[in-house]
Amino acid sequence: MLDKTHAAIASCHDRKQFLRIPLRLVLSLLLLVVSPALAADRTIYLTFDDGPLNGTSNILDVLQAEQVPATLFMVGMHAEANAANRALLQRAKSMPLVTIGNHSYSHAYNHYRHFYGNTEGVVADMLRANVVLDLKPAVHARLPGRDVFRLPNYSKDDNSLGLAEAGREDPDYEFVAASGFWLYGWDHEWVHESSGKPVQSVDHLVSEIDHLFAYGHFARPNKLILLMHDEMFQDTFDGKAKLTALITALRLRHYAFGAIAGYD
């Protein structure tokens, strides 16, 4: 493959003609050279927050069809909201490649400052979700609205919080972790609008992921945790097709998909 790259460059008659080669072509050729060699070292962890919701069923359909591992960080309050959501939880738990994670019971009722001002309340909320989701320690978990890691070999606070906000909250994450939780943040996010509509196109998201791997900005070397939300994959947003397209594009670039249990 390296010979093809050299051939593309050598075919230019002079430096001026070489500079006319589209940058996109050059980058694509370089990607083809690098990708196979690094395939075993580049792992993506697909994670989905806030389910069960409208969109969760489509996620499960795609994961089943594509046979890739993923983690669904679920909200206890959503899981017990109705019979359909309870059925989605049970379906997810029956799938060998799916890990169910704890994303709190209440999702802080979306009042994060108040929620994180009481560490014991945070733990109580998370433990309540364990009961609803039928999870036993040590539980893979993600705190609502906070990019926090507390794992045996890695620890990170949410760098996006301002000093004033962090000072008002000041939760004891070590206490939360010691209560039976492995806390996972994320490395990159497929952003969504308030309606749930995905912001980046699949191509744009994959380009962002390629750049991240090129520069190595990860919590753990060559391991990227991708944050998504169940509501993004509703039929309204052509959710099945978008998630399938993402998985296909990442496979074509020789990325591996990992189960969260092997992350740390």
Q: Per-domain residue ranges for the chain?
A: 1-40, 42-262
- What's the pLDDT score for residue 165? 67
- Reported as a single tens digit per residue, the pLDDT across 41-91 is 899 999 999 999 999 999 999 999 999 999 999 999 999 999 999 999 999
Check pLDDT > 90 for residue 145. Answer: yes
- What's the pLDDT score for residue 104? 98
Check: CB of residue 227 under 8 Å from CB of residue 186. yes
Check pLDDT > 60 for residue 208. Answer: yes
- What's the pLDDT score for residue 217? 75
User: Of the ranges 73-82, 188-197, 209-218, which one carries the lowest mean pLDDT score?
Assistant: 209-218
- What's the pLDDT score for residue 24? 45
Q: Token pair of 230, please? A: 């169940």
CATH of 42-262, one of 3.20.20.370, 3.20.20.140, 3.40.50.11310, 2.60.120.10: 3.20.20.370
- What's the pLDDT score for residue 167? 66
- What's the pLDDT score for residue 27? 46
User: Any idea of the CA torsion for 190, 196, 197, 201, to the nearest 10 degrees?
Assistant: 10
CA distances from 137 to 43, 88, 127 (A): 25, 22, 10
Q: Token pair of 195, please? A: 């309606």
C-alpha 104/C-alpha 50 separation (Å) is 9
- Higher pLDDT among residues 38 and 200, named by residue: 200
Segments of 20-137 assigned E as strands: 43-49, 70-74, 98-102
- Reported as a single tens digit per residue, the pLDDT across 218-244 is 889 999 999 999 999 999 999 999 999
C-alpha 136/C-alpha 218 separation (Å) is 28
Check pLDDT > 80 for residue 14. Answer: no
